[in-house]
Chain A
Amino acid sequence: MRLTLKIWRQSDADATGTMVGYQVDDADEDMSFLELLDVLNEKLILSGDEPVAFDHDCREGICGSCSMVINGHPHGPQKATTACQLHLRHFRDGETITIEPWRAAAFPVIKDLVVDRSAFDRIIQAGGYVSVPTGAAPDAHATPVPKVHADRAFTAAACIGCGACVAACPNGSGSLFLGAKITHLGELPQGQPERDGRVVRMVEQHDAEGFGGCTNTGACTVSCPKEIPLDVISQLNHDYIAATSGRGRIA
């Protein structure tokens, strides 16, 4: 396959970036999208050029590292697929592919396609955890969890924190990520003691990081490689109202 790539190149956080065109003549339809960039980078290194910086780790679709907007779609046009699991067979021979970093003020570009997503880490720090005093492990059946709650928590827990929801959102909102974490922990008995304080602190941190507000367009769930459903945002709103309307206990 011959592919033309238009890639965002930016040498560091303060530099002004630009789109640069590259030609890859020996792409194979069985390659993953990241392997395509590997092939391009080998060429760039051999010719003495600076390789394209991009985030990647597991390449199995579960770590949430890869983060690039391909032809305007976070993680590319394939549904429920991370960029690392996207294969070139979904593109046409001779196609021009545009590759850009996540675009959000809260995710500043560090270099080329790499953005700083530590804003998400600080949101998790603010409340995305359960406090578990150490001691003997309790019996597995000591705390029953109804199946519907376990299923919903599991669906929400599939969030890998990649940030595609923010990249897709016209408002640069992290509401789908927030909603996934709130639903994941709030559906389980272990998440109850800190439930009210968690949502308030996480929402405040989300806003302080410079993410925008949700307008319920649903662009986030379309881009989510883990298909986190939109109702987690309703759960987030529900928990926030409960926690701040006097009914809640703020930890």
Chain B
Amino acid sequence: MVTVQKRPGGAGVRRLRNTSLQLKIVMAVTGAISVLYLVLHMIGNLKIFLGRSELDTYAEFLRTVGEPALPYSTLLWIIRVVLTVSIVLHIVSATILARRAARARPVRYAATPKTPGSYAARTMRWGGVIILLFIVYHILDLTTGTLNPNGVGGAVYDNVVSDFAPSRWYVTLFYTLAVVAVGFHLRHGIWSALQTLGHSSGARRHAQKVTSTVIAVVLTVGFLAVPFAVTFGLVA
């Protein structure tokens, strides 16, 4: 016979402000927005291979698009606000979920065999922290120009070339580590978002995992092409 008891204290259902599933849905949607941005960002970066004027003109276009109907930099600021809100929501949800997970599983097992689940799945949280630190550095480097050796507003090509100069190999190395972390994050994240939004199934799972991996690899290669091309002298 099954006896169902109330918990001691018997308050019944303690309502949380948000269910874990709602937080996961927030993470999936904000993650998707970030991935869309990354695709556009990568395409923009690759214009460096078309030459200085192509890249700098594109950067100027992003600021002047919509003029004179819209003020200077309107589109850019809309994108920045949407992205910032997305990333803040993504991180806040992840933090709440990680804290709940730690509370839900307070005692470790004495025997710990090889953990099932991919490396990408297991490194989502710390990988995310690395990516956040990188974003902060990246904005100070190539958006505000504070940490850039050239740091001239609008001179995108020159800023990038001086940033990844062979003598600054450690910057290229840090970018490489961060972009690879993004790649791993997306490999699990894209599929995980599809699952969270209820679009996965037994029949589709394999194709979705392959698609996630392909997108992750394309973005990783696309983003690393620029610093490597500069460091190894293909772009100067």
Interface pick from B65-73, B177-185, B195-203: B195-203
CB distance from B70 to the nearest CB of A (A): 33
Contact A237 B104 (CB under 8 A): no
CB distance from B14 to the nearest CB of A (A): 5
The verdict on A248 contacting chain B, using a C-beta distance below 8 Å, is no
Contact B117 A219 (CB under 8 A): yes
Contact A125 B4 (CB under 8 A): yes
Residue from B16, B109, B205 whose CB has the most chain A CB atoms within 10 Å? B109
The answer to whether residues A215 and B110 also contact, given A118-B5, A233-B195, A235-B198 and a CB cut-off of 8 A, is no
Contact of B16 among A6, A71, A207, A216 (CB under 8 A): A207
Contact A104 B195 (CB under 8 A): no
The answer to whether residues A237 and B195 also contact, given A71-B111, A118-B5 and a CB cut-off of 8 A, is yes
Interface pick from A44-52, A81-89, A130-138, A165-173: A165-173
Size bracket, chain B contacts: 35 or more
The verdict on A234 contacting chain B, using a C-beta distance below 8 Å, is yes
CB distance from A163 to the nearest CB of B (A): 13
In the bound complex, how far is the Cα of B26 from the Cα of A241, in angstroms?
A: 12
The verdict on B112 contacting chain A, using a C-beta distance below 8 Å, is yes
The verdict on B124 contacting chain A, using a C-beta distance below 8 Å, is yes
CB distance from A179 to the nearest CB of B (A): 11
CB distance from A86 to the nearest CB of B (A): 15
The verdict on A94 contacting chain B, using a C-beta distance below 8 Å, is no
Over the window 57-79 of chain A, the binary record of Cβ atoms lying under 8 Å from chain B Cβ atoms (1 yes, 0 no) is 00000000000010111000100
Among A196-219, those with CB < 8 Å from B are: 203-205, 207-208, 210-219
Q: Tell me which residues across on chain B come within 8 A of A103, comparing CB atoms.
A: 105-109
Contact of B200 among A173, A205, A231, A241 (CB under 8 A): A231
Contact B202 A231 (CB under 8 A): yes
Contact A231 B205 (CB under 8 A): yes
The answer to whether residues A171 and B13 also contact, given A100-B110, A219-B117 and a CB cut-off of 8 A, is no
CB distance from A33 to the nearest CB of B (A): 15
Contact A215 B111 (CB under 8 A): no
Q: Tell me which residues across on chain B come within 8 A of A240, comparing CB atoms.
A: 21, 198
The answer to whether residues A222 and B116 also contact, given A229-B202, A234-B195, A234-B198 and a CB cut-off of 8 A, is yes
The answer to whether residues A213 and B103 also contact, given A98-B111, A218-B116, A219-B115 and a CB cut-off of 8 A, is no
Over the window 178-222 of chain B, the binary record of Cβ atoms lying under 8 Å from chain A Cβ atoms (1 yes, 0 no) is 000000000010011011111111100100000000000000000
Contact A214 B122 (CB under 8 A): no
CB distance from A172 to the nearest CB of B (A): 3
In the bound complex, how far is the Cα of B97 from the Cα of A158, in angstroms?
A: 29
Over the window 106-141 of chain B, the binary record of Cβ atoms lying under 8 Å from chain A Cβ atoms (1 yes, 0 no) is 111111110111100110100000000000000000
The verdict on B19 contacting chain A, using a C-beta distance below 8 Å, is yes
In the bound complex, how far is the Cα of B10 from the Cα of A118, in angstroms?
A: 14
The verdict on B24 contacting chain A, using a C-beta distance below 8 Å, is yes
Contact A204 B15 (CB under 8 A): yes
Contact of A205 among B13, B21, B24, B107 (CB under 8 A): B13
In the bound complex, how far is the Cα of B204 from the Cα of A229, in angstroms?
A: 13
Q: Can you name the residue of chain A whose Cβ is closest to the Cβ of B20? A: A213
User: What are 14 of the A-B contact pairs (CB < 8 Å)?
Assistant: A103-B107, A104-B104, A105-B105, A172-B105, A173-B20, A207-B20, A208-B13, A216-B121, A216-B192, A218-B117, A219-B115, A219-B116, A230-B202, A237-B197
B contact residues vs A (CB 8 Å cutoff):
2-5, 13-16, 19-25, 97, 100-101, 103-113, 115-118, 121-122, 124, 188, 191-192, 194-202, 205
- Having A19-B110, A230-B205, A235-B198, one finds 13 other A-B pairs with CB under 8 Å, namely A72-B113, A100-B109, A126-B13, A208-B15, A208-B16, A212-B101, A213-B21, A214-B20, A217-B116, A219-B117, A230-B200, A234-B195, A242-B198
